[in-house]
Amino acid sequence: MTLFLSWVAIGMALAFAALVVTIVVGRLFADRRRAHEHALRPAIEMALDTFLAAEDPERPLLPAGLEARGLVRAVALEELTELSGRERARLVRLLECSGIVAETAVGLGSRRRGNPVHQRRLGGGEPGGLETDGPGLRAM
């Protein structure tokens, strides 16, 4: 019995050590990403603000990369909440021309396709097969 309890204690210690290592490694990656975003954010904000303030602007050079484009999207959304009129339209046009709107739409669509509730709404799991005889459509 003592031998069994010793093995259980060793297993629990190993599980605890694996959990600590997982948490520490996750924090290191998160801190690295946050530092990278913190370094890129002022340049992105300056590029967008300069683009919006100029009378006849050229498209700003936005950083490439998946993480950087996500940060551009986040900064642009923050600015969209504060803008109106011509500046807002110019920023929306910039996001559409740079492909950020399309990437966001594709990302949202791919998350939704795996959802079982969405699959039922599509007609029994058939991708792209919409119900044409459903109760929701009859009520319309």
Q: What is the pLDDT of residues 27-60, one digit of tens each?
A: 999 999 899 888 888 888 888 888 888 777 777 7
Q: Would you call 131 helix, strand, or coil by DSSP? A: coil
The reported pTM is 0.57
- Tell me what pLDDT residue 115 has: 61
In tens, the pLDDT along 90-136 reads 888 888 888 888 888 887 876 666 666 555 655 554 444 444 444 44
Which whole number is the average pLDDT over 56-70? 77
pLDDT of 122 reads 54
Torsions phi, psi for 98 (to 5 deg): -80, -5
Gap between the Cα atoms of 117 and 138, Å rounded: 20
Q: Is the pLDDT of residue 67 over 80?
A: no
Structural Rg of the chain based on CA atoms: 24
Q: Are 86 and 96 in contact (CB under 8 A)?
A: no
pLDDT value for 25: 97
| Whether pLDDT at 61 is above 60 | yes
In sign, the C-alpha dihedral spanning 71, 72, 76, 77 is: negative
The domain segmentation of the chain, as residue ranges, is 2-122
pLDDT recorded at residue 17? 97
Could you tell me the pLDDT band of residue 14, with boundaries at 50, 70 and 90? very high
